Structure formats: C-alpha cells, structure tokens
Structure 1
Amino acid sequence: MTMKKKIASLMTASLALAMVVSGCSTSTKESGTTPAASAPSETAKAAETKAASPVEITFWNMFGGGEGDFVDQIIKGFNDSQKEVIVKQLRLESNEYYAKLSTALSSSKGPDVAVAHVDRISPFVKAKQIVPVDQLASKVGFDLKQITDSNLKSVTYDGKPYAVPLDTHFHMFYYNKDLLKKADLLNADGTPNLGELSPEGFKKTLSQIKAKVPDVQPLAVNTPYFQEPFLNLYYEAGGDLLNADMNKAAINNEKALSVLKFYMDLYNNKYSDLNDKTPWDSFNNGKAALWFGGVWEAGLLLGDKSKNIGAMPLPAIFGSQTHWASSHLLVVPSYVTPEKQEASAKFMKYFSEVGGQTWGQAGHVPANSKVTASAEYNKLPYRNFFIEAQKTVKFAPKTDKYTTIITTVSESLQNIIFGKQSPEDGLKNLEKQINEVLAN
C-alpha cells in the first residue's frame, strides 16, 4: 500500500508538473502573442504610412491649346505646393468630352473631379450624379463667399451649390484701332467713336467703315456659331429663351425678330460676310474692323501690341448691357470615395484661390472675387473692362433639357440666316420645337 501510495503520489506530482508545463506552454503562447500584440502596432504604423501617402485623384478636362498650358501650370503648382494630394489629369477632345463624362457618371467609373460648363450640370444634378460642394469646401477651409454672387447662384439648386465656378466667359467688343482711324472713327484716347447706340446708329457706323475702308468687313459676325451673337443682342433687348417656369418657349417675339432682321441687314448690306467660316481669323488678320469675340481670345488679340487692338464691353445696341455668358466649373461625382472627395476639394480650393491668377491670364474672368480684386490680375490689359462686363452677364436657364434646346436654337437660326426660312416662320417653328422638347 505504501508503494501504491508512492506511485500515486508520483503520478499526482507528474500530473501536476504536466499541468504546470502545460500552463507554461499556454503562458508562452500568450506571451508569444506579445510580439503578436506588437502586430497591431506594426499595422498601425502601416496605416500611418498609408495615411501619410498622398491621395491620387484623376482630373478630367477638355482644355487644349493655350488654355491647356495654363491648366498644366495650375496642376503642377498644386502638386508641388503640398504632399497630401497628387492630381493626374486626363485631357479629352472637346467634341467627345460630354459623351464620355456622361457615360462615366452613369457607370460610376471615371474622374474624381471634372470640368463642366454651367449649362451642362442640370442633368447631373437631377440624376444625383454629382455632389453638393458646400460641406466639402468647409472641410478644407474654402470660403465659397469668395465666389461672385452670379457665379454661385448659377450652380445652386434647392439652396445647395453643386460646383465650384472657376470663371465667367463671354464676349467683348474688340476693335482694330488702325482700321477705325482710317474710317475716322477713333477717338483721341484710342477708343472707338460708335455714334448713336441703337440698331440704326450702329449700322451707320458700319456704313462709314465700309465707305472709307472698303477692303475689310466692318463687323465680323460669328456666323458658324450664330446662336452666340444672336443671344448677345437678344438678351440686350430683354429677351429670354424660356418663360419663368421654364416649361414654355419665350423666343417667338418682336425682340427676337428685331435682332434677326438687324443681323440680316448686316449681311445684305455687306457689313458682314455671311459666308465667312472663320470670322475670328478675319479679325485677327486685320480683315475686319470690329468683332464680338470671346474673352478667351484676349491673349491672342491683346497680347501682341503690333496688332493695335482694343477691347470694351459689348455696346448697348439694343438698350441694355445684358449679354450671353457661360462658365467653367469643377464638379465631384457622387461615386467618389469620401477620402477622394476631400482631396478633390483641396484641389478645387487651390484652383480657385491660387490658380485663379494663372487662369485669368487665359482671358476668362476668374469667379473668385479676391483674384479679380488683386493688383496682379488688374495689371493685365483691359481687365477693368472685363470685370465691368462680367457684372451684366446672363447664364443659361437651369433646365436639364438645355443642351437639346440650344442645339435646336442653333439649327433653326442657321436655317433663318441662310434663307431657308423667313425670320417669322423660323421663330414660330423654333417655338414649337422647344415646347416639344420641354413636354417630353
């Protein structure tokens, strides 16, 4: 029994030892998790490294030529100015841009931030394909009150801004000083003597140019894109494309008829060449005395002093200074992750506040009022007149059917000025077509 007790005692001790060893083993595993407990620390470090890595965003735009060069400068400036965000751009051809952007927004595969025109965003807002930018702006310290009221209002739907306006672009009245001097229509201060500002008064001015400088067009008219010069004077006359509720056409009226007959008189009297397919070149090359040209042409027309060209706001031929305008915007698609939305907001802030100075050199009037108030911007030629003209612009009506409407307007106006329809019949048919678009 004593032996049995000893054996039992040994077995108990062995079991106890095994349990202790087992316990140590468990303890070792747990302490082995202590290095594993440092794993979250490594993970945290990796997360910190990832967080410290710049967020890459893709920026779509359609800017080519000189405008593209300015955008390249802005992107480089932004990327060099900080280490949080890297912007990579995809530049698309302008004639395919909106088809590809619309597809991207519909499929949720595309840019993180993109350029759009103010008259193009209504369908995107209606389809909830782009996000409001007010909260994003607040997150990155971007005060949207810097944006001019007219620009901010143009992108506001139900009290929310859905884009960051970059600029306003419109037409200025460019004049060739040398040709006006030959026509005895240049004042001592180098400004044009336009006489009475009325349709008949302006035609008298053009008649004098034709008589004294017969080898040039008195006024080059942008016939290939006639909807723009038409809208300039139609808006001067107090006209609208649509009624206040934007459910009916408002273009078949005496104001539109007067403007059409005015332009047709210019063509018929050879004050303007109906068949000039590149009127911008005609003016630039000294073959036209006057030109309703875009602010985006400022670098070309005003940058070379040997051309001796001046600029001023469009004259109030039809009674007011109101005129057509559009605007480039930056929008953020709804599918973009919160991280990249915020990164995009940082880029939008930079483009507006800092890049606006560079963008202003392209001719567009920056939407950021601090930029247009700066001494740097106002050193650029004729920019005081650009700022003055910006105050009386009229943007497109905010309807998701505007693209179809303006295409219809463009086609109808071409039919009228080339004699396929009378102005009266053309406006009547145009009214009918617009109403059909709005009804569908």
Structure 2
Amino acid sequence: MHIPLGSPATPAPSRRRFLGLAGAAAGVGLLTACGGSSGPTVNTGQATGKAYTGAYTGPKVSLSFWNGFTGGDGPYMKKLVEQFNAEHHNIKVTMTTMQWADYYKKVPTAVMAGQGPNVGIAHQHWLATLAARRAILPLDDVARELKLAESDFIPAIWQAGLYQDKRYGIPLDVHCLASYWNTDLVKKAGIQDPSSGFESALAKLAAGPARQPFWMPNQWPAHMIFLSLLWQNGGTPFTSDASKAAFDSDAGVTALTWMIDQMKKGYSPKNVALDTQYNAFKTSRNAITWDGIWQINDLRTTAPSLHWSVGFLPTIGHTPAVWADGHNFVLMNQKSDDNKLAASKTFIDWIGQHSAEWAGAGMIPARNSARSGADFKARPQAAVATKLGAFRFLPAVPGIDDVGNQSYVQAVAKAVLGQASPKKALADAARTADQLLASNRQKFGS
C-alpha cells in the first residue's frame, strides 16, 4: 500500500541524531556530579506548589519550554504550543529548540546557574542522568495531581520513567525501530507479508526483484538492531541491577552473528556506511530496511513516488522484542514560584491530552486514550503499535547512554565491518562497559 502524503519530514537524518546524542553523552562528564560539589542551590524535593485543580486561574505568567525537536517533529510541537497559548490567556509558553547534543549539555549547566527552562523534554534513557545531576525534579506528586497512572499508559514506558523509586518523567510518546518494505518489490517476489517468515522472504527477494534486499549498516541504527535481536534471543544488555554488561552472552553473539550473516548470504553489501541503507531503500536499491518510526514522515516527503509499508520488527529470535525509547516531560530543579509551577502542570496536562495530534510527528502516543481514536489508527505507525508488550527500554542508570556508545555500539561496528569476531568484539566491549559502569557509580554517587 502506498502511504499517503500529508506530513512534513520527521527528525531524522539519522547521522545528526546519532552524532548528537553521542556527543551529548560524551559531554555529560563535564558536569558537576551529584556526589561532588554542593550542587544547585534549589529545592530537591517533589514539585508540589499549589494543588492542581485542572486549570490555572492565577495571574499571567510566562513559561520557557526547551526541547530538541529541530527536525520535522518541531512544527507539530510548535503548533500545539501556539494552540495552547491561544486557549490560555494567562499563560504564555515560549518554546526554544536546539540540537539534542546541545540540549543535554546545556540543561544541567543552565539549571545550576538558575537560568534553565520551566519545562523540558527528555528521552527516557536520559532521565536517570538528569536526575542524578539534580537537573530535574521528581514528579510523583505532579502525576497524582494530574490523576495519571500506569493504567493510562503503555506500562513499559510508565515504568521507564522511574529512577530510584521516584518518577522523573511524564511520558509523551514512544518511538522504536520498525521494519519498512518496498511493496512493489515484495509483490513482485510473491510475498504477502515479509514480516512473517522473514528469512524466507529475503531469499525470494534475492532470487527475484532485489539481488541485495536487506542492507546491514555498521553504524546507526545498527546498535538498535543488535539490541532488538539480543532481547529477542532472551538476552539483556546489562545485568538486572545494571552493574555489569550482559550483552556479551550467547544471546548477544547469536544476535550479532545473524547481522553478519546477512552479508555472508549476499543479502547485504559490505561496509554499508551511515545512512546508506536508508537512502538505498528510498531509491529502491534494496527492498527492506529497519529504521526508526521517525523516518515515516521523511519517506513521505523525500521519496513521494516510493510505495512502501511499515510494521513491527520481525521476530528473528524466540520472542517478539524491539528497541524503544520515549520523550518525557520534565520539570527543572530550580527556583520557581507557585504560579509558574501550577501553569507548568497545566501545560503538561494539556499537551498530554492532545498527544493524538502529536502523533502526526510520526510518534506513538504514550497515552492509551490517544491511541484509541480513529485518527491514530489510520496512521502508518499504528501498525507498529500492535505489540506494546514487546517494547524494550534501556535501564534507568545514570550515564547509560555513554556506556552504550563506548561499548556495544563500537562492538557492533567492528564485527559488521569484519574487524573482529562477534564473540571477541562483544567480550572486549563488555570489559569497557564494566569499567564505565563502575566509574559512573562513583561519579554519580549511586
């Protein structure tokens, strides 16, 4: 089925996204650790203030709202903010966007200086780091005041917002890896659904309309593919307490070996550079690619003549599983009067209730109510939101993004490039990860 046009491009050039988050992770060590110096001279308890009654009735206030929605998702959030301002004469929200790399470096520093925003957005896997840096406030009281509970959300994303038994994020969406396929090539190969019997589908495609149907990248999103396959084979990236690496298990070796086998079978060329597999898909040089759902809108605008479809990642291992992350609302840990805090609660609550509109950015709304309407069910990513229990998230551990970037991300690249065997690459990376995890426990005081 040809996906209809209609939405601007989503965030993605994956190169910018990958390098941005990696750069942010590298910069986090420059910030003051929670176990180090005196930290921010601000409150460290719950974000309480005046009781929330469902609407802000105080004097006019101005709120600053920071995020990293610099891609095609930006216009959707901008439109929501403008709509909010139009409906709330006593609240003026000013949105500031910046690259995620800059965002994650700037937020803690700005909060320390008392110049941070009132409201922000954070990826799930960054919540623990920001909380350990005391850059954001616990939101258990806010969640109760807004009458939010796990039953309102995808359970996994609700639980992913916890760090040390406190809630630091109010979930907005989930985004995950997905499988895209060229419907014209799949049809020519006589395949109805390439997600069912995936390897058989690749063999048929290779024997027919697509000699190399499934290009395997060595960089972004290669580590997401690896993690998804790791979970599918019963493994985990880290031990249950996240004190040690576990991605070098038999499940990890099996996952990484499968990735390399795609080249050995001739389904993928070697040395697939960053973004090459995605660009090849847009020009019909391959038939299937695995990438994030944030590419949905990019495909609509940059490849308008391409006929494609998208679905949940095929189960290559024993259990359906897919790498996932999410955007969360956060409140900054700085001095703020009760009126601004109450207005911030109103803003977060309003955007959450309108998150079905945010789905236009290519995301999956975290709220169940936003996914139950006909508008969302008609969107391409609805086909990905069919196995919500299979979404997998990184553990809530400070600095976990940096650990991954310096360990299994590098191991996947080395193995796919043929520079090391899967077993050796993962074993070496696990030792690096263990050292980083130990260092982070000292750095973050937890």
Quick check: TM above 0.5? yes
Could you say which residue in structure 1 is the equivalent of 2:44?
A: none
Q: For the aligned residues, what is the CA RMSD?
A: 2.1
Pairwise CA distance, 1:148? 2.7
1:395 alignment counterpart: 393
SS at match of 2:219: helix
Aligned position for 1:143 = 148
Percent identity, please: 24
Deviations 1:348-382 (A, max 9, x none): 1111111x022111221101111111222223245
SS at match of 2:287: strand
Deviations along 1:236-275, one digit per CA (max 9) or x if unpaired, are 1111111112111112221111111111111233312332
Q: Distance between the aligned counterparts of 1:193 and 1:313, measured in 2?
A: 8
* Pair 1:249 & 2:245 matched: yes
Change (3 A) 1:424 1:142: same
Find the partner of 1:192 among 191, 194, 198.
Answer: 194
Cα shift readout 1:136-169 (whole Å, capped 9, x = no counterpart): 3444x45345233222111123443211111111
Deviations 1:31-74 (A, max 9, x none): xxxxxxxxxxxxxxxxxxxx864211111111123201111111
CA contact (8 A) 1:302 1:310 kept: no
Q: Distance in 2 between matches of 1:386 and 1:180?
A: 19
CA apart distance, 1:318: 0.8
Q: Does the Cα contact within 8 Å between 2:247 and 2:426 map onto a contact in 1? A: yes
TM-score under structure 1 normalisation?
0.80
81-90 vs 155-164, which moves further = 155-164
Residue identity in the other structure for 2:120: A
**Residues 336/238 of structure 1: CA separation in 2 closer, same or farther (3 Å cut):** farther
The CA distance in 2 between the partners of 1:230 and 1:148, in whole Å, is 23
1:218–1:290 CA contact under 8 A, matched in 2: yes
Matching residue of 2:320: 321
Contact 2:66 2:120 (C-alpha < 8 Å) held by counterparts:
yes
Corresponding residue of 1:116: 122
Q: Structure 2: which 5+ residue stretches go unaligned?
A: 1-56, 440-446
Q: Which residue of 2 aligns with 1:405?
A: 403
TM-score when normalising by structure 2: 0.79
Q: Secondary structure at the match of 1:223?
A: coil
Q: CA deviation at 1:301?
A: 3.6
Judging changes above 3 Å, is the alpha-carbon distance between structure 1 residues 242 and 192 closer, same or farther for their aligned structure 2 residues? Answer: closer
Aligned counterpart, 2:46: none
Q: Which runs of 5+ in 1 are unaligned?
A: 1-50
Structure number with the higher helix fraction is 1
Instruction: Find the structure with the greater CA-based Rg.
Output: 1
Total equivalences in the alignment: 376
1:159-192 deviations in Å (ceiling 9; x for gaps): 432111111110121111111122222x2xxx33
- Report the Cα offset of residue 80 of structure 1: 0.9
Structure 2 residue aligned with 1:433: 432
Partners of 1:131 and 1:382 lie apart in 2 by 32
Residue aligning to 1:347: 347
Q: Which moved more, 1:338-347 or 1:324-333?
A: 338-347
1:70 aligns with 2:76: yes
- In structure 2, the residue matched to 1:359 is 358
Matched, 1:275 2:266: no
In 1: Cα distance, 2:420 partner to 2:352 partner: 45
What is the Cα deviation at residue 302 of structure 1?
6.1
Give the whole-Å Cα distance in 2 for the aligned partners of 1:133 and 1:382. Answer: 29
Aligned partners of 1:249 and 1:431 also within 8 Å: yes
Q: Shift of residue 230 of structure 1?
A: 0.9
Q: Give the match for residue 376 of structure 1.
A: 375
Measure the CA separation in 2 of the matches of 1:159 and 1:436: 25
Distance 1:246 1:149 in 2: 20
Q: Distance in 1 between matches of 2:431 and 2:98?
A: 35
Whether the aligned pair in 2 keeps the contact of 1:323 and 1:392 (CA below 8 Å) is yes
Displacement of 1:415 in angstroms is 1.9
Give the conservation status (yes or no) of the 8 Å contact 1:167–1:365.
Answer: yes
Distance 1:427 1:52, change over 3 A: closer
- Give the drift of 1:320: 1.1
Work out whether residues 112 and 336 of structure 1, in 8 Å CA contact, stay in contact via their aligned partners in 2. Answer: no
Q: Secondary structure at the match of 1:425?
A: helix
SS at match of 2:385: helix
- Residue 104 of structure 1 corresponds to which residue in structure 2? 110
After superposition, the C-alpha distances for 1:98-140 in whole angstroms (9 at most, x for unaligned) are 111232233332111111110011122223331122323444x
8 Å contact kept, 1:137–1:345: no
- 1:164 corresponds to which letter in structure 2? I
Matched, 1:171 2:177: yes
Q: Deviations over 1:387-419 (max 9, x none)?
A: 213331011011113022111221222122212
| Partner AA of 2:293 in structure 1 | V
Closer, same or farther: CA 294–87 of 1 in aligned 2, 3 Å:
same
Q: 1:122 to 1:382 in 2, by over 3 A?
A: closer
Q: Helix, strand or coil: the match of 1:311? A: strand
